Structure 1
Amino acid sequence: MTTRLHALLVGIDAYPAPVPALSGCVNDVMAFAGVLRERVGAEALELVVLTDAAATREAVTAALTDHLGRAGADDVALFYWSGHGSQQDTPPELWTLEPDHRDETLVCVDSRSPGSWDLADKELATLLAGVSASGCHTVVVLDCCHSGDGTRDADDTVRLAPPDPRRRPASSFVGTAPGTASRAVSRWTPTGRHVLLAACRSSETAKEVTVGGRRRGALSAALEAALTDAGGHPSYRDVLRMVTADVAARVAEQHPQVETTDATELDRPFLGGALPTTPRPLTLSHLPDGWCIDSGAVHGVPAPVGDETTELAVYPLTGETSGSPLATAAVTQVLPDRSLVRLTPELDESFVYRAVVTSIPLRPLLVGVVGEDASAAALREAASEADEGLVGLVEEGGAHDADLVVEATADGFVITRPGVTRPLVPVVGGPAREERTIRALEQVARWLRLSALTNPGTHLPADAVHVEVEAGAAPVGAGGTLTLTYAGSDAPRFTVHLANTTATPLWAALLDLTETYGILTDAFPAGSIALGPGESTAVDLVGQVDDTLWAAGTVSVRDQLMVVTSTLEFDPRSLEQDELDVGAPPAPRRPDGPTRGAVAADGAGAGGGGTAARTSLDRVLGGVTTRRLGPTPNRAAVADWRTDSVFVVTSRPR
């Protein structure tokens, strides 16, 4: 069932005396209405906007009941208020609900007219409790003052109306008719599934500022910017972080607040996920514990590995991410929800910035060595010549913490996974077995590092380059598996389709990671192919079970087809490696490329590439094969990139 957003937006500037007029509230709700129309779309949005003279107490309460009341259990109900807040004395009958005997109120356009009143916190809570009774997710945004001791600021307009001096009878409260006062709910926070985003603390004032030549509420302007710039489904914590940084950069003594009776609601997507997914920029801001990016371990940011760590280029939040960055950042500590960074040079702490990943640490493959003592010692000695960025041997007795285990036997070395007895590769025996085992481990390490390569800070959507693999039946997309079977001795053919779904040019590469640790990059002559907006391409491939493997008893192989997408041209051909052959040292790359696994149907091959890193992605790909890359090139262009994979299982019956 499609989630619908039922939104009621109220903005009042033209208050009659004695309530001071405002000048940014109508701008607030009209701008926010535009955000909702653009992000949610007309088919999923039920919108009512009340401004100035239309925003009477009767109209607001009726819309809360009639319009938001139509939200069903799978929907979202939003009440957005931009206008004056105030206070009033609580009627004695309701003192048990209000210890300080003062109610926070929203000032409707006619609230101070004879026979009309402010909308008190208890009334709003009661009305919204009726809305959320259906099970819908209820959201309240209040861009107003809700304190009693605020004073006017000499430079900023504050959204605080003077208290209503009239004595208000309890019978005038919505939901508090005689005999029902005990059921009234106190304060702003409604009951049910809800979240409240307030402009400021109860002791502060909500201010108006000038943004882009127009008067705006500081909170409303910050919220619009946050939802415009944020991608994905930002949580309430994410939104609070962004609006807090924005508001603090514009005004003093105003701290937005998020309130809820259920703390788990704070990790839900803003507006309950009613905003469709868009790419989420990786942002950098200064928090009490220092500079940090808003991605951590749960987002896939890897912990530093020795002196290697995630590196980032920093740009203005709404600017381009090409050209020279404002600063560079290096991750120093990865926390669950964010990562602390070291910034060079320092930037203005009052702003939020965009960060783009330029380098990722790839930890070495940890190998434990067990078995016959003399052979194990010889293997450890040979490992001293290995690329320490690819392979690292754990201390004796630490095999249980290793990624792979090498067992030294009289016949040679057996490479397995911990707890698995079946060899991962054939037994390595004969002359120079130690050096060949280390080379095999290095090749497996390169394959494993590439197969798991992701960009935790990408701004590209998951479907930026749409990938489908088909063989005449239903196509399979990213993350899926296509199963193929030989027809007699004829290998099955299939096609990979790639299509740029974005409005910007992209480059894509198709890599084949074979089950026997080969990496083929010859799908396109230059390694990657340019795809303009809406452009597509197709690659015809053949699923193969090699004759030698088949004769030895292997009847099924699994290929990982990895699509690497980038905003800049890149060359993945330096990744190419032959199938793993433990019988001899790896042979040099052949001009026509390897022939096992899923290969180009026309037999074409590109051979190896291997030029100097021109972009940050080239450097990341280079880091898959070795850590011996030297310092980061100063002129390397910063690319945004992502990886997606489809799996192909080819069966060749006996």
Structure 2
Amino acid sequence: MSTLYALLVGINSYRAPTVPDLNGCLTDVVEARAFLETRLAPGVTLAPLSLHDGQATRAAVIEAIRSHLGQAGPADSVLFWFSGHGAEAPAPAWWFEESTGMLQTLVCADSRDGEVPDLLDKELSILLDEVALRAGHVAAVLDCCHSAGATRELPGTRARMAVPMAAAPVRELLIPELLVAVPGQTSAPEHVALAACRSDELAQEMRLGGRRRGLFSWALLNALGRLGPAATYRDLLAAAQTEVEQNVYRQVPQLAPAHQGIADQPFLGGPLAPPASGLLLRYVRQGWEVDAGSCHGLVATTTDEIRLAVVGELPVREVRAVQVLAERSLVEPIGWQPDRDRQYRMVLSRVPLPATTVMVGGPGQDRATVATVLAALGSAGPGGGPSPHLRPVGPSDVGTTPELMVRVPRRDLAIVVDRRGTPLAGELTDIHRDGARQTVHVLEHIARWRQIRELNNPVTGLAGAVTVEVVAARPGERIAPFDRPPVAADVDGVLRLRYERGPGGWTPQTIFVRLHNRSDRMLFCVLLDLTERFRAHAELFPGSFVAPGGRAAALRGRRVVAALPSGEAPEPGARVRDWLKLVVAEEQFGPAPFELPALGAPRGVDRGPLAVRGFLDRIGRAVQHRDLVASAEDGAYDWTTVTVPLEVEVPRS
């Protein structure tokens, strides 16, 4: 028997008028607590303590760490989760170790109200070290600005940032242990921290899944649900970073310490588990419900976007979500009446596929050409309606950061760029003739590619069942080794494969790609390669069953050359990013609905909706066309995805 002691601090409202209020912090910690309550492993007891808004004073947070988390013993795990403002403070003159002259801080509810200081990073580090002296495992999740390093050892939207403190805090107001600590000398066991961003970056909160919330908290909970209880901190970092980078620029989640050891242990040391029998549909007083909610990654909606189906029954019997709560969802059957005395195993049969937001034009750009592109967007869909893959936004859409932009520097010219301003295609001309339709085609192609990259099943029972392993090839080696350890990701969660300099110049690295089925059941796998040229193909592993506990190799075990695209010279600093997208299911499906040619390349013969037979083929069809039809020939089955960012680069030196 063990206990998970959790302290969840969420602060939207601050006392000091100089500290602006936030909106999504309470949602973060409420959903984190709901996730823990629904995912405990057998034999583990949850001991939660939540401090919301005015409850989360500096003194209360310090006392809760000492008295609540401090109860943990060697068999117990500890979690400190903070969602609120982060800031910086001038380092006290007596603290000689801080070379930058600034400390990272957590802004408590009463910080800067009178003489109350922020909670310094070094204070938090000491407090968690004291807990780690007695507890078996200690972890911190920090969703605030400047959060990397906020638990360092003593050696968009809207940012969760308060302005730096004007002066160093008065030493008499700090915890006594800080005043006597010797820099760099501590014998406490390590604690691990997952932080929303680097110490010089801002953590964003935005509207996600129908609610305002912290982007990092949302991404981390999604990763926990998708990867399962065996996922390590390093695995979670990579998955969370992938989610974050798809929404904002210059927010890179961090892991500390990043070296091998505690970073490669399961989250919280392993007290979490997936649901014993997957999703369940049951009747309660309010009606029918399933045991998954927004804390597990379901998007809060009252539309027909979320559907679940009964496993193993024909014809397919579905329910639609009518209200998504934190830990469960209320649903209604579609065309059938379940037995109230029975519980049904369910799987997700329709996932929300949000349209990609696009902004056309801007100040000083050609209005007539902007109007022509917008008109083409409004008539590009089925029956002459709006494009189903794109949602135009403008300056009046407060809180919405466009994912794609169309610049119109002069009449009859359009340039598609991402949110960083990087051009994604060549210049598009003759807008007032055929160019507007071609502009929409480019935008839709990119939107479909993004939907494939972001596709996931937030409530799968197959989380962590199959992993993607990249193995370095040795000189002369031609067949993939069965059990050689895979290449580890860098500290930012990306697998980096680097050219090597030799007598003949730069040489790309050669690798093998394996799939490892860690489950006890036969599973069908397809491995997609999503390239920066907006191509999605299944040439690496077009589809096969992988035996329980077994491994399979891409390209039938042959080597893969990790090179720059054809025609691009290997100059120092050159790099390219691919995403390996693994799709896993209990039954066979076809890869065709998930494939896209490179942007600008001709597409093959299109598939009509009647060609869709398998359950996952329907979901792929929804990604591509959104005109899927149900098939009575195939029952419902569970599925999941894994996304691995892979970067090939030429070193600068």
Q: Give TM-score, length-normalised by structure 1.
A: 0.51
Aligned mates of 1:405, 1:506 — CA distance in 2:
40
8 A contact 1:459–1:640 mirrored in 2: yes
Give the aligned partner of residue 374 of structure 2. 380
Q: State the SS of the aligned residue for 2:448.
A: helix
Aligned mates of 1:74, 1:537 — CA distance in 2:
39
Of residues 287, 299, 305 in structure 2, which corresponds to 1:309? Answer: 305
After TM superposition, give the deviation of residue 385 of structure 1 in Å.
3.8
Q: Deviations over 1:423-474 (max 9, x none)?
A: 3444333563322211111111111111111112211131x12321122496
Aligned mates of 2:585, 2:566 — CA distance in 1:
36
Give the aligned partner of residue 96 of structure 2. none
Q: State the SS of the aligned residue for 2:549.
A: coil
After TM superposition, give the deviation of residue 363 of structure 1 in Å.
1.7
Aligned mates of 2:550, 2:610 — CA distance in 1:
27
Of residues 470, 475, 478 in structure 1, which corresponds to 2:486? Answer: 475
The structure-2 alpha-carbon separation of the partners of 1:485 and 1:429, relative to structure 1 and needing over 3 Å to count, comes to farther
Corresponding position: 1:491 with 2:505: no
Aligned mates of 1:532, 1:571 — CA distance in 2:
19
Counting only pairs closer than 5 Å after superposition, residues 12-161 of structure 1 correspond to structure 2 as: 73-75=73-75
Give the aligned partner of residue 254 of structure 1. none
RMSD over aligned CA atoms reads 4.0
8 A contact 2:415–2:426 mirrored in 1: yes
Q: State the SS of the aligned residue for 1:528.
A: strand
Give the aligned partner of residue 550 of structure 2. 535
8 A contact 2:527–2:543 mirrored in 1: yes
Aligned mates of 1:422, 1:459 — CA distance in 2:
38
| One-letter code aligned to 2:549 | G
Q: Deviations over 1:144-173 (max 9, x none)?
A: xxxxxxxxxxxxxxxxxxxxxxxxxxxxxx
8 A contact 2:309–2:319 mirrored in 1: yes
The structure-2 alpha-carbon separation of the partners of 1:333 and 1:452, relative to structure 1 and needing over 3 Å to count, comes to same
Q: State the SS of the aligned residue for 2:318.
A: strand
Of residues 330, 333, 340 in structure 2, which corresponds to 1:343? Answer: 333
After TM superposition, give the deviation of residue 608 of structure 1 in Å.
10
8 A contact 1:614–1:637 mirrored in 2: no
| One-letter code aligned to 2:346 | A
| One-letter code aligned to 2:307 | E
Aligned mates of 2:345, 2:564 — CA distance in 1:
46
Q: Deviations over 1:60-108 (max 9, x none)?
A: xxxxxxxxxxx9703269xxxxxxxxxxxxxxxxxxxxxxxxxxxxxxx
Of residues 438, 448, 451 in structure 1, which corresponds to 2:450? Answer: 448
Give the aligned partner of residue 588 of structure 1. 603
After TM superposition, give the deviation of residue 395 of structure 1 in Å.
5.6
Give the aligned partner of residue 555 of structure 1. 574
| One-letter code aligned to 1:373 | R
Of residues 338, 344, 348 in structure 2, which corresponds to 1:353? Answer: 344
Aligned mates of 1:292, 1:505 — CA distance in 2:
30
| One-letter code aligned to 2:367 | D
Corresponding position: 1:368 with 2:364: no
Aligned mates of 1:568, 1:522 — CA distance in 2:
20
Q: State the SS of the aligned residue for 2:331.
A: strand
Counting only pairs closer than 5 Å after superposition, residues 138-537 of structure 1 correspond to structure 2 as: 274=271, 281-304=278-301, 308-314=304-310, 321-324=311-314, 327-344=317-334, 345-370=336-361, 371-387=365-381, 388-394=387-393, 397-398=396-397, 401=400, 402-410=402-410, 412-418=413-419, 420-430=420-430, 432-462=434-464, 464-472=465-473, 475-476=486-487, 480-485=494-499, 487=501, 488=505, 490-524=507-541, 527-537=542-552
Of residues 574, 581, 585 in structure 2, which corresponds to 1:566? Answer: 585
After TM superposition, give the deviation of residue 380 of structure 1 in Å.
1.4
The structure-2 alpha-carbon separation of the partners of 1:501 and 1:626, relative to structure 1 and needing over 3 Å to count, comes to same
- 5+ residue gaps in structure 1? 6-38, 45-70, 78-133, 138-230, 234-270, 315-320, 591-606
After TM superposition, give the deviation of residue 302 of structure 1 in Å.
2.6
Aligned mates of 1:328, 1:551 — CA distance in 2:
52
8 A contact 2:536–2:594 mirrored in 1: yes
8 A contact 2:467–2:516 mirrored in 1: yes
Aligned mates of 1:625, 1:571 — CA distance in 2:
14
Larger radius of gyration: 1
The structure-2 alpha-carbon separation of the partners of 1:276 and 1:477, relative to structure 1 and needing over 3 Å to count, comes to farther
| One-letter code aligned to 1:445 | A
Q: Give TM-score, length-normalised by structure 2.
A: 0.51
Corresponding position: 1:579 with 2:575: no
Aligned mates of 2:591, 2:616 — CA distance in 1:
9
Q: Deviations over 1:591-645 (max 9, x none)?
A: xxxxxxxxxxxxxxxx99998222221111111111122x322223212111112
Identical-residue share of aligned pairs (%): 28
Give the aligned partner of residue 260 of structure 2. none
8 A contact 1:543–1:650 mirrored in 2: yes
| One-letter code aligned to 2:456 | T
Q: State the SS of the aligned residue for 1:434.
A: helix
- 5+ residue gaps in structure 2? 4-40, 45-70, 78-133, 138-227, 231-267, 382-386, 475-484
**Pairs aligned (count):** 376
8 A contact 1:303–1:309 mirrored in 2: no
After TM superposition, give the deviation of residue 279 of structure 1 in Å.
6.1
Of residues 613, 634, 637 in structure 1, which corresponds to 2:635? Answer: 637
After TM superposition, give the deviation of residue 550 of structure 1 in Å.
4.5
